[in-house]
Amino acid sequence: EAGVAQSPRYKIIEKRQSVAFWCNPISGHATLYWYQQILGQGPKLLIQFQNNGVVDDSQLPKDRFSAERLKGVDSTLKIQPAKLEDSAVYLCASSQRTGGRNYGYTFGSGTRLTVV
């Protein structure tokens, strides 16, 4: 089966600019996650979608980050305006419908963001 697709792979922007990342999950996976991974750390959850609804966005910095999954398939994550501390790899992952149990996540290759 095809994996989780993410684009772009790399992005360099200046602080205060805006940036958007795109993710297409594995076909049939109802649950989609965005994680932020700063160099040397574990992935940190930003937002969890179930179909096109938000399940958990408690750790999303909503003053500058936004995410949507309008048709319950692909998703975009936006940062506006970016700060230096946003430099990280943004990972998208998908899993089968949670429905009361957990499944392994399939991660995309990530987008490496550098804010200068």
User: Which of 7, 103, 114, 116 touches other proteins by CB under 8 A?
Assistant: 103
As a whole number of angstroms, the longest Cα–Cα distance in the chain is 42
* Closest C-alpha to 46, from 13, 92, 12: 92
User: Which of 56, 84, 114, 116 touches other proteins by CB under 8 A?
Assistant: 56
Residue placing its CB nearer to other proteins in the complex, 5 or 81: 5
Contacts for 51 with CB less than 8 Å, ≥ 6 apart: 30, 69, 72
Q: Is 41 in the site for other proteins (CB under 8 A)?
A: yes
Stretch that binds other proteins, among 7-15, 64-72, 76-84, 108-116 (CB under 8 A): 108-116
Q: Three-state SS for 70?
A: coil
Q: Is 108 in the site for other proteins (CB under 8 A)?
A: yes
Binding residues with other proteins: total (CB under 8 A): 25
Place of tokens 């399939």: 106
